[in-house]
């Protein structure tokens, strides 16, 4: 049992605070933090701060972090809501579409009353209601390659929650060029997959992989999807993004996660960089430095 009682902000002056953790053994841990997290933030994120792997430092990293979420459908709903709730400081939402009745079965960031509204506007309202302490930028257009590149360069992590191959490859190429970590997810029927790409690692990028990957050309509109499937995959994307932003654990880079929910089978496939990949092949040879978030 590892119950911690956390007394937060018992001492605070000039933007500094002292976090006191009392362990069951009676041992006191004192953490002096110099950032500007308020009492409200400390309480809001307290269950996350209690995790030794996150702590005040990790929460501060999340607070300073910028994430780009492309696609506010089913995957983006779960990913954006968890990233907002967890305290990722700046979210940029990109989607050109409007909310349709047929979206509501799985795109839970939107409400019935949002039908006809821009998805980014509807999503922004939900996210700010969930956590008014974060900043949200909404872009309601289909970005061309240059515009996507510009957005990708401004963030610490990209969550690809789109549903078509062409956009996925555009986002992937932009991330590799910008050296911005990418969390790519897909879900259809009762199947899902997640791939993480990180600069300076040996793992495959989406371009390396897509010849072999299932679900690349089908969409939910054509094939159908069971509602919780996008929630599962979108939640994993949020988790991997938080790991990338905080340095927690081992991310999915170099491994493709495949979920068959009908049989509830989870598989992991090692996916190495293709040396001849037109996107990441040459670049990686001169790219041995570790990624910029953890560095
Ligand atoms: Zn590649």
- 95-138: pLDDT as tens digits: 999 999 999 999 999 999 999 999 999 999 999 999 999 999 99
Tell how far the Cα of 294 is from the centroid of ligand 1, in angstroms: 22
Assess whether 51 and 193 both reside in one domain. Answer: no
282 C-alpha to center of ligand 1: Å? 9
Answer whether residue 33 shows pLDDT above 90. Answer: no
Q: How far is the CA of 210 from the centre of ligand 1 (A)?
A: 9
pLDDT tops 60 at residue 291: no
Query: Is the pLDDT confidence value at 34 over 80?
Result: no
Distance 283 CA to ligand 1 centre (A): 9
Instruction: Render pLDDT for 191-241 as a digit per residue (tens, 0 to 9).
Output: 999 999 999 999 999 999 886 454 456 777 778 999 999 999 999 999 999
Give residue 39's domain range. 5-55
pLDDT band of 269, cuts 50, 70, 90? very high
Query: Within this chain, do residues 135 and 244 fall inside the same structural domain, yes or no?
Result: yes
**Does residue 294 lie in a domain region?**
no
Per-residue pLDDT, 223? 86
Are 49 and 122 members of one domain? no
Neighbours of ion ligand 1 (CB under 5 A): 205, 207-208, 277, 279-280
- Reply yes or no on whether the pLDDT at 88 is more than 50: yes
My answer on whether 105 and 128 are in the same domain is yes
Residue 282 in this model has a pLDDT that exceeds 80 = no
| Same-domain status, 182 and 232 | yes
pLDDT band at 270 (very low <50, low <70, confident <90, very high): very high
Q: Tell me, yes or no, whether 42 and 182 share the same domain.
A: no
Q: Band of the pLDDT at 31, cuts 50, 70, 90?
A: low
- The reply to whether 291 falls in a domain is no
Residue 277 in domain:
yes
- Asked whether residue 295 is assigned to any structural domain, the reply reads no
Going from the Cα of 287 to the center of ligand 1, the distance in angstroms, rounded, reads 13
Same domain, 107 and 13: no
Domain count, the chain: 2
Whether residues 11 and 108 share a domain: the answer is no
Q: Are residues 187 and 109 in the same domain?
A: yes
Is 38 among the domain residues?
A: yes
CA of 155 to the centre of ligand 1 (A): 21
**One domain, residues 83 and 15:** no
Q: Which two tokens stand for residue 200?
A: 């300076």
180: CA distance to ligand 1 center in Å? 14
pLDDT in tens, 144-171: 999 999 999 999 999 999 998 999 999 9
Output the pTM of the full model.
Answer: 0.85
- Say whether both 74 and 166 belong to one domain: yes
Instruction: Indicate if 86 and 105 belong to the same structural domain.
Output: yes
3-state secondary structure the chain: CCCCEEEEEEEEECCEEEEEEECCCCCEEEEEECCCCCHHHHHHCHHHHCCCCCHHHHHHHHHHCEEEEECCCHHHHHHHHHHHHHCCCEEEEECCCECCHHHCCCCCCCCHHHCCCEHHHHHHHHHHHHCCCCEEEEECCCCCHHHHHHHHHCCCEEEECCCCHHHHHHHHHHHHHHCCCEEEEEEEECEEEEEEECCCCCECCHHHHCCCCCCCCCCHHHHCECHHHHHHHHHHHHHHHHHHHHCCCCCCECEEEEEECCCCEEEEEECECCCCCCCCCCHHHHCCCCCCCCC
- The domain that holds 119 is classified in CATH as 3.40.50.720
């Amino acid at each position: 049992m590892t119950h911690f009682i956390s007394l937060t902000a018992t001492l605070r002056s000039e933007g500094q605070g002292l976090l006191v953790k009392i362990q069951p053994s009676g041992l006191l841990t004192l953490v002096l933090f110099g950032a500007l997290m308020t009492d409200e933030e400390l309480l809001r994120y307290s269950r996350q701060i209690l995790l030794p792997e996150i702590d005040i430092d990790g929460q501060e990293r999340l607070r300073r972090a910028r994430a780009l979420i492309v696609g506010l459908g089913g995957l983006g709903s779960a990913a954006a809501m968890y990233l907002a709730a967890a305290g990722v400081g700046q979210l940029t939402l990109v989607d050109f579409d409007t909310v349709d009745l047929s979206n509501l079965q799985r795109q839970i960031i939107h409400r019935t009353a949002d039908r006809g509204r821009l998805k980014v506007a509807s999503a922004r309202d939900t996210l700010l209601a969930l956590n008014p302490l974060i900043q949200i930028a909404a872009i309601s257009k289909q970005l061309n390659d240059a515009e996507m590149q510009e957005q990708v360069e401004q963030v610490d992590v990209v969550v690809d929650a789109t549903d078509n191959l062409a956009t996925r490859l555009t986002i992937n190429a932009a991330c590799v060029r910008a050296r911005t970590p990418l969390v790519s997810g897909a879900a259809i029927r009762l199947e899902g997959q997640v791939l993480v790409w990180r600069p300076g690692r040996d793992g495959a990028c989406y371009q390396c992989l897509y010849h072999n990957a299932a679900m690349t050309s089908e969409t939910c509109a054509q094939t159908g999807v069971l509602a919780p499937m996008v929630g599962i995959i979108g939640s994993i994307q949020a988790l991997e993004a938080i790991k990338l932003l905080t340095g927690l654990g081992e991310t999915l880079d170099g491994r493709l996660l495949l979920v068959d929910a009908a049989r509830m089978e989870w598989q992991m496939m090692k996916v190495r960089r293709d040396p001849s990949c037109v996107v990441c092949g040459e670049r990686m040879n001169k790219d041995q430095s570790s990624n910029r978030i953890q560095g």
